[in-house]
């Protein structure tokens, strides 16, 4: 049995919806256990116990969310050299473009020596005013389908030993 760890942070619900869509699709893959944890809940033991990862974060001020960064900071030294080559993918819930948050996640994953297995998925909500930025998000069905496809693909790759 393989384990897929999905770690996310969500303040307005968008990233949570994305992570849940990915987790639900991944759970349909036989031979894979899916653990969905918020960034404050997840720690080094969770990372070490997993065979692959999906990291999901909102874009905050053109960067990854602070609580996701905190997760990576808390886990860095305890997992360093112990997760080399494990597969990962990323999802960003962005208000504008999400590219810098994605770049940050990719750089951290490179430092952890993880193996990217899919292009980063960015869902743009176009929230550009204070009211829209702080408002609860509803991710559109076609974007949730993209998240589900990413989760299912990652789980299938783990289950079949492709990565």
pLDDT tens digit string along 130-142? 899 889 999 999 9
Percent of the chain, pLDDT > 70?
Answer: 100
**Per-residue confidence band for 64, with pLDDT thresholds at 50, 70 and 90:** very high
Output the average pLDDT for the chain: 97
Rounded to 10 degrees, what is the CA torsion of 149, 155, 161, 163? Answer: 70
Q: CA 125 → CA 8, 14, 26, distances in Å? A: 17, 9, 24
Pairing verdict, β 32-38 and 2-8: parallel
pTM: 0.97
Domain spans in the chain, listed from the N-terminal domain onward = 2-160
pLDDT at 133: 87
Query: Per-residue pLDDT tens for 18-60?
Result: 999 999 999 999 999 999 999 999 999 999 999 999 999 999 9
Among the residues of 9-138, which ranges form H helices? 14-27, 44-49, 66-79, 99-111, 130-134
pLDDT at 128 over 90: no
Name the class of domain 2-160.
alpha beta
pLDDT at 162: 95
Query: Per-residue pLDDT tens for 101-110?
Result: 999 999 999 9
């Amino acid at each position: 049995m393989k384990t897929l760890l999905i770690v996310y942070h969500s303040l307005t619900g968008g990233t949570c919806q994305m992570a849940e869509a990915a987790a639900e699709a991944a759970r349909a893959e036989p031979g894979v256990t899916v653990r969905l944890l918020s960034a404050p809940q997840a720690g080094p033991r969770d990372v070490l116990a997993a065979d692959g990862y999906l990291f999901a974060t909102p874009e905050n001020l053109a960067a990854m969310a602070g609580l996701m960064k905190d997760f990576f900071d808390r886990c860095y030294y305890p997992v360093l050299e112990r997760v080399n080559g494990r597969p990962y993918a990323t999802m960003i819930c962005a208000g504008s473009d999400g590219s810098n948050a994605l770049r940050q996640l990719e750089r951290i994953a490179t430092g952890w020596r993880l193996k990217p297995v899919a292009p980063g998925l960015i869902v743009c909500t176009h929230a550009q005013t204070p009211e829209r930025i702080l408002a609860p998000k509803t991710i559109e069905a076609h974007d949730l389908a993209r998240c589900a496809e990413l989760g299912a693909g990652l789980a299938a790759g783990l289950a079949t030993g492709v990565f």
